[in-house]
A and B are shown apart, each in its own frame.
Chain A
């Protein structure tokens, strides 16, 4: 019989604990409610996780580079409202292009403030959360935006399927693959880890920290624009507050995936796992007839557990040595 010492057990839990817990979770739900693992339900969970997921991909870049982004929810409302408004005015193609450009511009602004001016990312993006919300309200005059032609092909991104797979899932998968390769296999990706791991050392070793951080925010805003596109296409109409609070869900998924908020750690694959985990837990609790707020409490517990196990595994001790 295999026997583990306590230290080994902690290391194992640190590496695989969350995945193990997730598997157990899934099994329990599947046994309790047969519907849970039906193909329909699984597809529907992934589809509704796609918007959070796409944004989480971008936030992973920002977090790995050692920064935060709390403005994504507000920014997504902006993207959604802009593309819906422009759709009827200049047609879907130009509307999408314009929306992406404007959202990237916001991303560039944040990237400039955090990357080049070296301002604290938490405060900058907190400020942007408020400012972009104001911008959205000014743009729309506070009105809901709706596409009048409900048969527009614009609905493709949110409502159609290709070979039986909903388009939002395809977008999420493609973007995850692309960004996963960029983060793990390219020199740019290595720079991000270097900058996030130790900003000062990276600067001295000839890597431009400013530029790297700037591009991370640009990528993040690109993901937000994509999420806004899916959202707008899904409902063909929206309120100004559609993205409100999503930054927390996204951050929760990224942390659950194991990215360290101190920077330098985290991968796209793990973030995808974090996103799906949140999605399935949410769905499972719902199917069991529990209210949405139970999910808040469960998320709280698993976030803390996940990060704790991760740290405990690395230091080889369960409890912090801090006196």
Chain B
């Protein structure tokens, strides 16, 4: 694992620079909504473990519970506590910008994790660490298009699109990548409807039920993540509609299993553990004065029924 070695080196450097003394740096994190789905929960655990494993780091781990007011309050609290760096997983990419500016003014570097803040806030953050969601959307479009081509329906296929929570940067970027890339690779495939599933399996299932009532022909479903993709799959199964190609993103364990069962075609492999570790690492690098790319992406490859044996089942 390339990543682990780099982490180890970083830790080694960090301990060299700041030898002696307990906890050399305090890093605070305010997360979006732990417990609402497995990805965020796994991220939370992985982050806490990674911080604990590093004797130089003390981590203050907070969760906004999806409430933007609480998140802003938490950023203020972290500033007040005088942490060395703040990691934020924005509940709303726009609304946290002033809070982030406040941190910057207090001389505390801010690292955005997982889902980016709006461009208005770029002046106030040190780096973004997370997946490249536009590329993910593009890759999902390619996965779907390739499948349609191999099925010979690339000239007629109709697709419905279930997006993540509106206003959430990850959702917007994935949707953008998918909607832009699909006509490039498969110009004759049409997206007949788009509705938000809010990253929620139940909501997505209801959205898909409505699609199935409305449209007699659906060949493909693109969902912003596997949690929603599986919700849509359940709706299709309940309605007895076979042969629909499901493509998601953020491969969840349920998505992986559904792929193994041959019901779900493909997704994007993205580990919350990598995500959490990358965020922590970025913060450490920033504090150590290292050069960090402003948009610090970690790789998220395509996974389909064809190549899934190369990947272990996600833990979440």
Pairing of A with B: yes
Scan residues 279-311 of chain B and give those whose CB is less than 8 A from a CB of chain A.
none
- If over half of B's interface residues share one DSSP class (helix, strand or loop), that class is named, otherwise mixed; here it is helix
A150 in contact (CB, < 8 A)? yes
Chain B: number of interface residues, binned into ranges: 20 to 34
Q: Do the beta carbons of B234 and A234 come within 8 Å of each other?
A: yes
Q: Do the beta carbons of B316 and A235 come within 8 Å of each other?
A: no
Q: Do the beta carbons of B35 and A238 come within 8 Å of each other?
A: no
Q: Which residues of B lie under 8 Å from residue A238 when comparing CB positions?
A: 201-202
Residue of B201, B213, B234, B257 near A44 (CB, 8 A) is B213
B200 in contact (CB, < 8 A)? yes
Q: Which residues of A lie under 8 Å from residue B227 when comparing CB positions?
A: 144, 239
A184 in contact (CB, < 8 A)? no
Closest chain A CB from B280 CB (angstroms):
19
Q: Do the beta carbons of B200 and A241 come within 8 Å of each other?
A: yes
B252 in contact (CB, < 8 A)? yes
Q: Do the beta carbons of B261 and A242 come within 8 Å of each other?
A: no
Interface size on A, residues (CB 8 A): 26
Q: Do the beta carbons of A137 and B35 come within 8 Å of each other?
A: yes
Q: Do the beta carbons of B38 and A143 come within 8 Å of each other?
A: yes
Scan residues 136-163 of chain A and give those whose CB is less than 8 A from a CB of chain B.
137, 141-144, 146, 148, 150, 159
B41 in contact (CB, < 8 A)? yes
Q: Do the beta carbons of A48 and B231 come within 8 Å of each other?
A: no
Closest chain B CB from A35 CB (angstroms):
7
Best-surrounded residue of B227, B238, B253 (most CB of chain A within 10 A) = B238
Q: Do the beta carbons of A142 and B214 come within 8 Å of each other?
A: no
B18 in contact (CB, < 8 A)? no
A180 in contact (CB, < 8 A)? no
The distance in angstroms between the C-alpha atoms of A239 and B36, with both chains bound, is: 7
The distance in angstroms between the C-alpha atoms of A139 and B35, with both chains bound, is: 11
Using a CB–CB cutoff of 8 Å, the interface residues on chain A facing chain B are 35, 41, 44, 48, 137, 141-144, 146, 148, 150, 159, 234-242, 283, 286-287, 289
Q: List 11 A-B contacts (CB under 8 A).
A: A35-B213, A44-B239, A144-B252, A144-B254, A234-B234, A235-B234, A237-B230, A238-B202, A241-B200, A286-B213, A286-B214
